[in-house]
Structure 1
Amino acid sequence: MSFNAAAPDRVLIRLLDHPDAAPYLLARRDLSPAVVDAAVDHPDRRLRGRLTEVPASLRLSAAQWSRLVLGETGGARRQLFLEVAALSGQGLTREAYETLAVDPFGPVREELARMPALPLPLRLALLADPLPGVRAAACLRCRRESPPRRESPAGPGPRPTALRGPGPLAASDPGRQPLPGARLGRRTRRRSRR
C-alpha cells in the first residue's frame, strides 16, 4: 500500500504509524508536502530520523528542517540533524537560526556556525561564544566567506621587497638559522650530499 501512487494522503499519513510500512513510504520520491509534514511532526523519533536519510532529506523545505531540528529534545540529535541539513544544501528559517544560536548544547552551536546559510549577525555573535570550538567554527566559516583579496595597484606581479619580509636567511642577521622547511639553493644541497 505504501508504494501505491493512487493512495490518498490521509491513508499515507496513517501508514506512518505502521512500523513496517513507514520506511518504504519515506523512500518514495512523490510524497505530497502534507505527508512529509506529518512525518516531521510524528512522535516516533526513529521515523523522524529516517527523514534525514536520502532521498527523504532532499524533499524537506527550510521550514520543515527547522521544525525537525527544533523538535528534538536531545542535543546530540539536534547536532546530527543540523549537519544533515547543511549537507542537503537546505538552510533553516531565521527563527530557527536565532533559537539554535543560544542552544545550551555547545556542539549544536558549533554545527550551526558551520552552516553556510547562517546570517552574518548570528555568525558574528557566535565568534564571541564561550566555547573555543564554536568560535573556531565560526571563524573558519567567516574566513571561507571573506571576499577575495584585491590586486595591488602595481599589478599582479611580485610584491615590493619591503612588503615581502625576510627570506629564509635574512642578510641582516648572518647567525640566523634557516626557517624549518626553507628550500636551500641547488649548490648547497649538492655540497651537503657529498
Structure 2
Amino acid sequence: MFDRRSDQLNAIAFNTSASTDVLLRLLHEEAAGAWGAFMARPLPDEVVDAIVVHPERRLRSTLAESFAVPGEQRGRLVEDPHFRVRQVLANAPNSFRSSAPSLPLPVQRRLLDDPEPIVRRDAAFYGNFDDRLIAGLCDHEDAFMREASCDSWCLLSESERERLLHDPDDDVRQRARRMACRDDARWTGVLLESGLDDSPQQDVIRYGAMTTALAEQVAASGDADDRRALALNTRAPLDVVRKLAENPEHSVRLAVSVRPEFTEAERAAVDVTVGPDDRLYPVEWVRTCEDADVLRDCARSSHTWLRRSAACAEHLPADAVDLLSRDDDHAVRLLLCERQPTVDGEAVLQTYLGCEVITKSLLLSHPNFPKAGLAERFADDPDTGKRALAVLDPDVDADVLARLLADDDSSVSSAAAVHPALPPDLLLRACDEPATATSALRNPALPAKVMHERLDALGVPR
C-alpha cells in the first residue's frame, strides 16, 4: 500500500501540467515520497522559493542535485546553513547521458572558497566548474585544491606547472606529473619507475609520451593490461606496437588492430574477433576525430569496433550516418541512434524494436523517432511492445485509445492512460483503476482539481 501511495505521489509530482499550488502541497512531509521528482523536472520560481527555505534538509539537497532547473535556481543554495546541502550543490548533477546547467560563476567562486573543506574540495574535483577558476587554485594553501588545479594544465603557465611538479605534497606532484607526461616522455619514465597502482599506471601508459626504450619496457611487461594500454597509445612507437599483434592476449591484439596507422589489410591480418555481445568503449582517436574522410573509412571498415566507434563520433558526416544505419551489427545501429540526431526515423524505430538493453526507452526521445502513424501501424499488433508504441501517436483516435486503455497487457493500458487525448471520462476512470492509476495521474490533461482530490485522499495537507 505504501508503494502504491508513493507511486501516485510521484506521478502527480512528475505531471508536467501540475500547477504551482499542487507542487507546493507536495512539499509537506506527508508527500516526502514524491520529493525525488523535484530533481528531474522544471520548477516554478514560487516552488523554488519555498524549497530554499524549507526546514527539511533532504528536500533542499534534492533541489541542489537537480539536473532540470537552471543553475541560477540551484545556485541560491550556496547560502544554505547546512554544509551537506552545499556539498551536494558543489558536485555536478550526474544525469544519465545529459549535462546539467552550469552554476553561475559567482556561485562557483563561493563554493571553491567555502569554509568547509569537504565542500570546496568536492567543488574543485567534481563540480564541472569553469577551467579558469580551477587553474587559479594552483597556489592554494590546501593541497587538495592544488591537486585539482592540475586538471586545468593547459591553462597554467610554465612557472605554475613547475611549482606543481615539485610541490611538497606527494599527491599534487603525482597528479601534475601525470598531466606533464602527456607531452614529455621524461615524466612518463619517472612515473613508471615510481611504482604506481594499476589504474594510474595504465593511464600513464595509455596517454603518456613514449620513447622507444620505454615502449619496449612496457611491451615486455607481464601485465596484459599494461600492454593493451600501450597498444592504445597513439603516440607510442608504431614499430614496437606492431610486435604486439602476435601477443597471446586477445585484448592486446584487439587494441593493436585499431591503430590509426593500419590499413584494412593490416587490421584483417590481426587475429581478433568482436562478438555481438562484446561491450567495448569507443576507440578514442575515432570518437574525437574531426576528419570526415577518416570517419568515412572507419564507417566502411570491416572492423566492428571501428564502426561502433565511428557511430559515436560527433563529427560523423551524413553519408556515414546513413551507411551505419544499415549496418549488420546491432550495437553499431544502437550507438548510432543514441549519439547521432540525424539518423533516419525508420532506422531508429527498427533499432528500438530489436533492442534488448534496459536503456532502449531513451530511443523514444530521438528527434526523428516516427511517432506519427504509429497507431495505424501497431494498434492491433499481436506484439504488446508494438501496441504500446501506438499510444505515442499524437493523432491517435479516441476510440483507439479507449481500446488500448482496456488492453489486457498492463504496459499497453498504462501507456494509453498517459495520452493527453484520452477522453475525460476514461481518464478519470483510469485514475481509479489500480493498473492504470499511476500512469493516469501523470497525464497532462488531468485537471488540477482531480490532483488536489487525490492528494486529499493520500493524506497530504492542503
For 1:110 and 1:81, the matched residues in 2 are separated by: 12
RMSD: 3.9
1:79 is the counterpart of 2:87:
yes
For 2:64 and 2:140, the matched residues in 1 are separated by: 28
**Helix, strand or coil for the counterpart of 2:114?**
coil
Deviations 1:151-185 (A, max 9, x none): xxxxxxxxxxxxx76836xxxxxxxxx97x57399
The CA deviation at 1:25 is: 5.6
Residues 1-194 of structure 1: pairs in structure 2 closer than 5 A: 3=12, 8-16=19-27, 18-24=28-34, 27=37, 29=41, 31-52=43-64, 57-68=66-77, 70-83=78-91, 85-88=92-95, 89-114=100-125, 115-120=127-132, 122-139=133-150, 141-143=151-153, 167=213, 181=218, 183=220
The CA deviation at 1:66 is: 1.1
Q: 1:127 and 1:87, CA in 2 relative to 1: closer, same or farther beyond 3 A?
A: farther
Q: Scaled by the length of structure 1, what TM-score is found? A: 0.59
**Helix, strand or coil for the counterpart of 2:72?**
helix
Query: How many residues end up aligned between the 2 structures?
Result: 154
For 2:49 and 2:135, the matched residues in 1 are separated by: 32
Higher helix share: 2
Q: Percent identity?
A: 31
Contact 1:40 1:64 in 2 (8 A): no
Contact 1:78 1:108 in 2 (8 A): yes
Q: 1:51 and 1:23, CA in 2 relative to 1: closer, same or farther beyond 3 A?
A: farther
The CA deviation at 1:63 is: 0.8
Q: 1:25 and 1:101, CA in 2 relative to 1: closer, same or farther beyond 3 A?
A: closer
The CA deviation at 1:123 is: 1.8
For 1:167 and 1:73, the matched residues in 2 are separated by: 56
For 1:129 and 1:42, the matched residues in 2 are separated by: 35
Contact 1:106 1:134 in 2 (8 A): no
For 1:130 and 1:32, the matched residues in 2 are separated by: 41
The CA deviation at 1:79 is: 2.1
Contact 1:103 1:109 in 2 (8 A): yes
For 1:166 and 1:8, the matched residues in 2 are separated by: 67
Contact 2:90 2:120 in 1 (8 A): no
The CA deviation at 1:19 is: 0.7
For 1:76 and 1:21, the matched residues in 2 are separated by: 22
Consecutive unaligned residues in structure 1, runs of 5 or more: 151-163, 169-177, 187-194
Contact 2:138 2:149 in 1 (8 A): yes
For 2:213 and 2:26, the matched residues in 1 are separated by: 70
Deviations 1:50-94 (A, max 9, x none): 3356xxx122211122112x13333344223321x3434332112
Consecutive unaligned residues in structure 2, runs of 5 or more: 1-7, 157-181, 184-209, 222-239, 244-462
For 1:34 and 1:62, the matched residues in 2 are separated by: 16
For 2:84 and 2:29, the matched residues in 1 are separated by: 24
Contact 1:124 1:138 in 2 (8 A): yes
The CA deviation at 1:33 is: 4.2
**Helix, strand or coil for the counterpart of 1:87?**
coil
Contact 1:26 1:51 in 2 (8 A): no
Deviations 1:127-146 (A, max 9, x none): 1111111111221x214889
Q: 1:86 and 1:46, CA in 2 relative to 1: closer, same or farther beyond 3 A?
A: closer
Contact 2:131 2:152 in 1 (8 A): no
Contact 1:110 1:138 in 2 (8 A): no
**Helix, strand or coil for the counterpart of 2:30?**
coil
**Helix, strand or coil for the counterpart of 1:51?**
helix
For 2:131 and 2:147, the matched residues in 1 are separated by: 17
Counterpart amino acid of residue 94 in structure 2: L
